[in-house]
Amino acid sequence: MFPLSTDYDGQRETFFLVRGRRPREQPSLSPDELRAEGLVAARWWTPGELRSVVGVRFAPSRLPELYGILLADGPPTVPVDVGV
């Protein structure tokens, strides 16, 4: 596990890579709880979907690129500023 960090207008986010056996089928939050967090949906993306996606906003915005770097090079040894 390693942190990826971003800072935007005083807000700081930290992302962690956690390897699991398989993704969860559903988020642990209910649809009402997701809306209360400002989310309209949550889902898992396959590596192929991330590579070919068009017109979708991610946070961090470079998520597909960063994921490709992780697959090619493995996890970095120090935190990486991923931008916003």
For residue 80, give the H/E element and its range: strand 80-81
pLDDT tens for each residue of 9-34: 666 767 777 777 766 666 678 888 88
Q: Is 68 exposed, middle or buried (0-12, 13-18, 19+ CB in 10 A)?
A: middle
Q: In what order do the strands lie in the sheet with 80-81?
A: 11-16, 3-8, 80-81
The number of residues in the chain equals 84
pLDDT tens for each residue of 46-81: 888 888 988 888 878 888 888 888 888 988 888 888
